[in-house]
Amino acid sequence: MENLQVIKQRFGIIGNDVHLNRALEKAIRVAPTDISVLVTGESGVGKENIPKIIHQLSHRKHAKYIAVNCGAIPEGTIDSELFGHEKGAFTGAISARKGYFEVADGGTIFLDEVGELPLTTQVRLLRVLENGEYIKVGSSQVQKTNVRIVAATNLQMEKAIQKGKFREDLFYRLSTIEISLPPLRERKEDIHLLFRKFAADFAQKYSMPTIRLEENGIKLLSRYNFPGNIRQLRNIAEQISVVEENRIISPEKLMQYLPNNRGNLPALIGNQSSSNSDFANERDIMYKILFDMRSDINDLKKLTLDIMKTGNIDELNEKNHQLIEKIYQEQNTSETGNVEVVQIPEVATIENQNTYDFVETIEENESLSLQDKEVEMIKKSLEKNNNKRKLAAKELGISERTLYRKIKQYDL
């Protein structure tokens, strides 16, 4: 087995980051086998190097290696590209055509952006992974292929599976071994090494002196987040090499080539669990309902006092009913903003200025605690729906799971 440093030199890989080294070591270890490999990482981190290493260190190195960008092939022709087609299979198919799986028989196929494959193509690919069989478009004859598949994606596959955009069984078939490449912002010590390598390459390409960064410029470059990763760093090195006449680059000059000058801002690497996100949304909705209800109740109290002073009883009856209806509608608003049709309770009218029969008495010293209000709303909803949690949760605009958690929390 070739050593790690030799592999880096052979494939032009720069850097000594521990996570990068771990990814390369895994690639070297799995290369002699026929195990399917899934390479993950953000766009621009150099995922295309891993399948090349695997192919060249495998027993298939003398057979074909084909790289396919699944995201660049139109959905209507992807099956034909991968599996081939027969003459007359579709409009424009004037002759039979071999697909990549037939051409690369005995070799390796690299499926880049595999997360972009249509679901119908995913079914075909799964069959190839399971038993090496496929059928050409427009044919009924089953053909065999002996191809090793290495796939890559910059998507979060778990989310794609949850959304129904990627088959779970195919994911587990592809990711027998998963190799993850770190983003450039996590390889701070490697950034300047890569910049120097790119600067030297462009100096040779354009026959000009090599650019160099001042000390503070190196620090500025290392603090930048590089959302485009290595590809972005390479573009910056090329721009500076071509445009700048002075070959010693100051931090002020370098800042002009860093988009938005966001060098010292932390990167937002979000991977919050869906359950926490759902809980936060439900909590926000609950708080909004509580605040809206309190505002409406205060309006009702103010309106009552105003009408008592003016003596306009009919106006109070009308507005009283409108406010109560608004409160019940807000109570029954779901997360999507859809308002259910609810039965508005009979609102008592005022017969004279000395008799007031309200649905419930509003105390001046009522609690301002959001928890108390939440408990009160849950109790009322459960009573109203005969302790049926599903109906109560729907009325409160939260999930049944969240309601069950609240019931246990408040010991209701």
**pLDDT single digits (tens) 247-303:** 999 999 999 999 875 444 444 444 444 444 444 555 566 666 666 676 667 776 776
Q: What pLDDT shows up at residue 267?
A: 43
Q: Which of 229, 225, 212 is nearest to 260 (CA)?
A: 225
CATH fold for the domain made of 185-261: Helicase, Ruva Protein; domain 3 (1.10.8)
- Percent with pLDDT over 90 in the chain: 56
Residue 23 has pLDDT above 60, yes or no: yes
Q: Which of 245, 227, 240, 228 is nearest to 196 (CA)?
A: 240
Common-topology check for domains 4-182 and 185-261: no
Q: What pLDDT shows up at residue 397?
A: 79
User: By CB neighbour count within 10 A (0-12 exposed, 13-18 middle, 19+ buried), where does 407 fall?
Assistant: middle
Average pLDDT over residues 342-371: 46
User: By CB neighbour count within 10 A (0-12 exposed, 13-18 middle, 19+ buried), where does 118 fall?
Assistant: middle
Instruction: Take residue 62 and report the two structure tokens written for it.
Output: 């003398």
Residue 343 has pLDDT above 70, yes or no: no
Residue 186 has pLDDT above 90, yes or no: yes
Q: What type of residue sits at position 319?
A: K
Q: What pLDDT shows up at residue 197?
A: 94
Average pLDDT over residues 324-336: 54
pTM of the entire predicted model: 0.61
Q: What's the mean pLDDT when you consider all of the chain?
A: 81
Residue 334 has pLDDT above 90, yes or no: no
What CA–CA distance (Å, rounded) separates 100 from 69? 12
Do 182 and 50 contact (CB within 8 A), yes or no?
no
Q: What pLDDT shows up at residue 316?
A: 56
Q: What pLDDT shows up at residue 362?
A: 41
Q: Which range (178-182, 185-189, 303-307) has the least confidence?
A: 303-307
Q: What is the pLDDT of residues 80-119, one digit of tens each?
A: 999 999 988 888 888 999 999 999 999 999 999 999 999 9
The contacts found for 303-312 with CB under 8 angstroms, 24 or more apart, are 304/356, 308/353, 311/353
Which residues are registered as beta bridge partners of 352? Answer: 355
Instruction: Enter the DSSP assignment of 149.
Output: E
Just give the CATH number of 4-182. Answer: 3.40.50.300
Residue 126 has pLDDT above 70, yes or no: yes
The CA angle 50-70-238, to the nearest 5 degrees, is 60
Instruction: Take residue 383 and report the two structure tokens written for it.
Output: 């009573």
Q: What pLDDT shows up at residue 130?
A: 92
What CA–CA distance (Å, rounded) separates 118 from 166? 8
Q: What pLDDT shows up at residue 405?
A: 78
Q: What pLDDT shows up at residue 277?
A: 47
3-state secondary structure of 365: coil
Residue 231 has pLDDT above 70, yes or no: yes
Enumerate the domain spans of the chain: 4-182, 185-261, 274-410
